[in-house]
Amino acid sequence: MKAGLLLRALLAWLLLACGAAAQTGPRCIAPAKPGGGFDLTCQALGRLLHASGQLAQPLPTVYQPGGIGALAFKSSVTQRPGDGGALVAFSSGSLLNLAQGRFGPYDERSVRWLAGMGMDYGVIAVRQDAPYRTLPALVEALRAQPARVVFGAGGSIGSQDWMKAALLARAAGVSHKVMRFVAFEGGGEAFTALIGGHVQVVPGDAAEVARLVEQGAPIRILAVLAAQRLPGRWARTPTAREQGLDIEWPILRGVYLGPGVSEQAFRHWAGVLERAMQHPAAARELEQFGLQPVALTGAALDAAVRSQMDGYRRMARDFGVMR
């Protein structure tokens, strides 16, 4: 009897030990539920590191939803500041929320920005059977009857998807204060609502919607919010600019580390990612996830973060959503 109890106690201890080890080993933390842009970033990072020979084993993804990145950011600062194995996914949307004070008392200096590895762009998506076949047609419908056009997206008022909707409403001459918007915890939920007919428009991201379209989801992309038409799968999709609307939304995707990570650990990961991004397979792997390859580390990444934060603060004040 005592032997059985001891055996069960030993097995329980081993399970706890293995769980703890799994949480401290290299992993990518996606600050949302599966299916959205953060999940995509982690999956792309894992493929990139594996294809370039930098990691022999797949990089596991740990999901930590909450506040569209706020919970993961706070955890990095307060609970695991020195965890050199926790690479946390971020996007320009994270920087937008951070710029508005939505991550509490933290700012862009609170973590260590490790790498920007891919550029994504906003898109305006509707159901395949929607009456709007072009972006101007959607704008006209929004202008005529704003209450009948319901936007749905990951994040609440002031998030990057809300900002895209607000910019579109402004182009239609409609106040952002009266547009209808339903918030979801991540882009995956928003597109599920679109497919189900619960919302009419999702101002989402090109990379996350590309996977859904390839899987046969009944979604039509009215415009890509880039300065010029993108290559590859987006070559036939016009930009908003081409359709007469001066709306752009570039999205930087990458990862950061906690503020207390040792210089040795930081340099290790910076070197790993720099080598991975310089590998011949990098562009192919990132393009598989709908990302345009970039390679930002060190001072260049810090400067890009500061530049985007400054722009977002101005935009947030303009729309009256600054906290």
- What residue segments make up the domains of the chain, in order of their start? 26-120+251-319, 123-248
Range name among 185-194, 229-238, 245-254 with the lowest pLDDT average: 185-194
Pairing status of strand 86-91 against strand 27-30: parallel
pTM: 0.85
Does residue 7 have a pLDDT over 70? no
Let me know if domain 123-248 sits in CATH 3.30.420.40: no
SS3 202: strand
Per-residue pLDDT for 4 more than 80?
Answer: no
Q: What is the pLDDT of residue 156?
A: 84
Four-way CATH pick for 26-120+251-319: 3.40.190.10, 3.40.190.150, 3.40.1380.10, 3.40.50.10800: 3.40.190.150
Distances (CA, A) of 144 to 137, 141, 149: 11, 5, 10
- Kind plus residue range of the DSSP H or E element containing 183: strand 180-184
pLDDT at 239 over 80: yes
CA quadruple 99, 101, 107, 111: dihedral sign: negative
Query: Which of the pair, 253 or 288, is modelled with greater confidence?
Result: 253
pLDDT for 23: 52
What is the C-alpha separation between 162 and 151, in angstroms, rounded?
A: 8
Residue 8 pLDDT > 80: no
For residues 47-51, average pLDDT: 94
| Half-sphere exposure for 92 (CA within 13 Å, toward CB) | 24
Task: Tell me the β-bridge partners of 122.
Answer: 205
SS3 of 274, please? helix
Rg of the chain over Cα atoms, rounded to whole angstroms, equals 21
**How far is the C-alpha of 201 from the C-alpha of 191, rounded, in Å?**
9
Other Cβ atoms less than 10 A from the Cβ of 146: the count is 17
Q: What is the residue whose two structure tokens read 């508005």?
A: 100
- Average the pLDDT over 277-298 and give the result: 91
Measured from the Cβ of residue 151, the count of other Cβ atoms closer than 10 Å reads 25
| pLDDT classification of 288: cutoffs 50, 70, 90 | confident
Tell me the C-alpha distance between 218 and 164, whole Å.
Answer: 22
Q: Do residues 99 and 309 make contact, with C-beta atoms less than 8 angstroms apart?
A: yes
Give residues with Cβ within 8 angstroms of 71, minimum separation 6.
Answer: 31, 64, 65
Structure tokens at 193: 């609502």
What mean pLDDT is predicted for residues 160-178?
94
Residue 168, pLDDT score: 96
What is the pLDDT confidence band of residue 127, given thresholds at 50, 70 and 90?
A: very high
Residue 80 has pLDDT above 70, yes or no: yes
The span from the CA of 49 to the CA of 59, in Å, is 8
Please give the helix or strand (H or E) that residue 297 lies within, else none: strand 292-297
26-120+251-319 and 123-248 in the same fold: yes
What is the average pLDDT across 46-70? 92
For the segment 142-148, the average pLDDT, to the nearest whole number, is 94
Mean of the per-residue pLDDT values of the chain:
89
